[in-house]
Amino acid sequence: MAGAETVPVARPVIGEAEIAAAVRVLRSGSVVQGPEVAAFEREFSELVDGRACVAVNSGTSALYLSLLALGIGPGDEVVVPSFSFAATANAVRLVGAEPVFADIEADSFCLDPEAAAAAVGPRTAALLPVHLYGHPAAMDRLLPLAARHGLAVVEDACQAHAATLHGRPVGSFGAAGCFSFYPTKNMHALEGGMVVVQDARLAAKLRMLRNQGMAERYRHELVGANLRMTDVSAAVGRVQLAALAGWTERRRQHAKALDARLRGVPTPPVAVGAGHVYHQYTVRVAEQRARFQGELAQRGIGSAVHYAVPIHRQPAYAGGGEELPQTDRAAAEVLSLPVHPGLTEGELDRVATAVDAVAALLGSEL
Ligand SMILES: Cc1ncc(COP(=O)(O)O)c(C=O)c1O
């Protein structure tokens, strides 16, 4: 379609309301972990069944701090999916523990409870499921597994703001739930993260750890770091949080429209009871994915591969020799299409038309 602009796979929003909020904070002079952060924590709590929220400077920091606060460290193993962003496993390594990679379910792309059970050993301290692409992991089967073995559960909900399983919000299942506010996420705060916990003592420990181990100024009760959120980020996050419900609804409508339209590729299945928030709308392209992507690009359609190389095959982690067939298959086949709330009806139509045209073109060549 000559002349038409490319439909981007993500379109982060930094609108007038976000800019006004940031300027308001800058003019106030109170820019680090002040009233905006406190308000953001209170408001985000409504999204996670009223659990305590502790804001930090990234999703990675949220994961790292959760593991640290739960006392997970050297000698411990944490069961994680390999089919995720590397931050999931990096957080485990950063506290000195060892990630043990388990396979995913083919349909949801999330940690397979049976594979997780097989990965549990005498040194396992925690399970770290990821609600990948905005689809909830099978918490109803992972929580009993954790309970049987006395394991902590830390949820990586970095891609899944407002996703639910049987009506319960992700982030509210485990000892800690971790969110990211990176610009391409379903809501952002420029950069930022949130840890969500039920236990008030754990919340207090997290608050200390994010701020050099202090509860009182210059009294360091723990060894902490500086992982604080700025008030500029929190103010932007509050604007985005207010818009999240509407954006989630639009993502779902777009996914529904694509589900109904697409003929040439299998559409993403949704598990029973899952409230998918479509951070990504991910299809499988079994053959010639690079060409598929190139043909889409020629038709002005952006797409992305999350993740072509699973974590256990990354240089920093390679060598374990794990057999993760569903992970390898997903890494070879997945392709994410535009589903973000900023899509117009015309753009959505162009996405569907292009995907089916490319599928037909490549299918006829096979
Ligand atoms: C699954 C997952 N875990 C962790 C992270 C880390 O979040 P951040 O980039 O905010 O550190 C991200 C996002 O980037 C993610 O997608």
The percent of residues in the chain predicted with pLDDT above 70, rounded, is 99
Considering the entire predicted model, what is its pTM? 0.97
**d(CA 179, ligand 1 centre) in Å:** 8
| Residue range(s) of every CATH 3.40.640.10 domain in the chain | 16-238
Distance CA 347, CA 361 (A): 21
Backbone dihedral angles phi then psi of residue 282, each to the nearest 5 degrees: -115, 120
- Are the C-beta atoms of residues 252 and 331 closer than 8 Å to each other? no
| Topology of domain 245-365, CATH | Aspartate Aminotransferase, domain 1 (3.90.1150)
Among residues 360, 107, 94, the alpha carbon closest in space to that of 128 is found at: 94
- Given this model, what pLDDT does residue 318 score? 87
Q: Which of 61, 64, 159, 170, when mutated, tests ligand 1's pocket best, judged by the most ligand atoms within 8 Å of its CB?
A: 159
> Which CA distances in Å does 27 have to 15, 24, 64, 141, 333?
18, 5, 32, 49, 49
Distance CA 73, CA 67 (A): 8
Among residues 158, 182, 191, the alpha carbon closest in space to that of 85 is found at: 158
Please say whether the structural domain 16-238 has been given the CATH code 3.40.640.10. Answer: yes
Residue-wise pLDDT tens digits, 134-170: 999 999 999 999 999 999 999 999 999 999 999 999 9
Index of the ligand 1 atom closest to the CA of residue 180: 10
Is ligand 1 within 6 A of the CB of residue 124? no
Query: Alpha-carbon Rg of the chain, whole angstroms?
Result: 21
Averaged over 231-260, what is the pLDDT?
A: 98
Distance CA 219, CA 214 (A): 6
- Given this model, what pLDDT does residue 2 score? 47
Distance CA 179, CA 45 (A): 12
Q: For residue 287, what pLDDT band results from cuts at 50, 70 and 90?
A: confident
**d(CA 325, ligand 1 centre) in Å:** 24
- Are the C-beta atoms of residues 141 and 117 closer than 8 Å to each other? no
Distance CA 13, CA 273 (A): 30
Residue 148 CB contacts under 8 Å (≥ 6 apart), including other chains: none
Averaged over 338-355, what is the pLDDT?
A: 97
3-state secondary structure of 129: coil
Please determine, for residue 364, whether its predicted confidence score (pLDDT) is greater than 90.
Answer: no
Q: For residue 3, what pLDDT band results from cuts at 50, 70 and 90?
A: low
Mean pLDDT, the chain, whole residue set: 96
Q: What residue's CA is closest to ligand 1, atom 10?
A: 59
Q: What residue's CA is closest to ligand 1, atom 12?
A: 158
Index of the ligand 1 atom closest to the CA of residue 87: 4
Residue-wise pLDDT tens digits, 292-323: 999 999 999 999 999 999 999 999 998 778 89
Distance CA 11, CA 19 (A): 16
Is ligand 1 within 6 A of the CB of residue 84? yes
3-state secondary structure of 102: strand
Q: For residue 1, what pLDDT band results from cuts at 50, 70 and 90?
A: very low
- Are the C-beta atoms of residues 185 and 133 closer than 8 Å to each other? no
**Pairing mode, strands 77-81 and 214-216:** unpaired
**d(CA 77, ligand 1 centre) in Å:** 21
| Residue range(s) of every CATH 3.90.1150.10 domain in the chain | 245-365
Averaged over 211-220, what is the pLDDT?
A: 96
Averaged over 286-290, what is the pLDDT?
A: 90
3-state secondary structure of 196: strand
Residue-wise pLDDT tens digits, 43-81: 999 999 999 999 999 999 999 999 999 999 999 999 999
Q: Which of 182, 186, 279, when mutated, tests ligand 1's pocket best, judged by the most ligand atoms within 8 Å of its CB?
A: 182
- Given this model, what pLDDT does residue 116 score? 98
User: Which two structure tokens, joined as six digits, stand for 282?
Assistant: 């991910």
**81 forms bridges with which residues in the sheet?**
102
- Given this model, what pLDDT does residue 349 score? 97
Index of the ligand 1 atom closest to the CA of residue 182: 10
Is ligand 1 within 6 A of the CB of residue 248? no
Residue-wise pLDDT tens digits, 106-115: 999 999 999 9
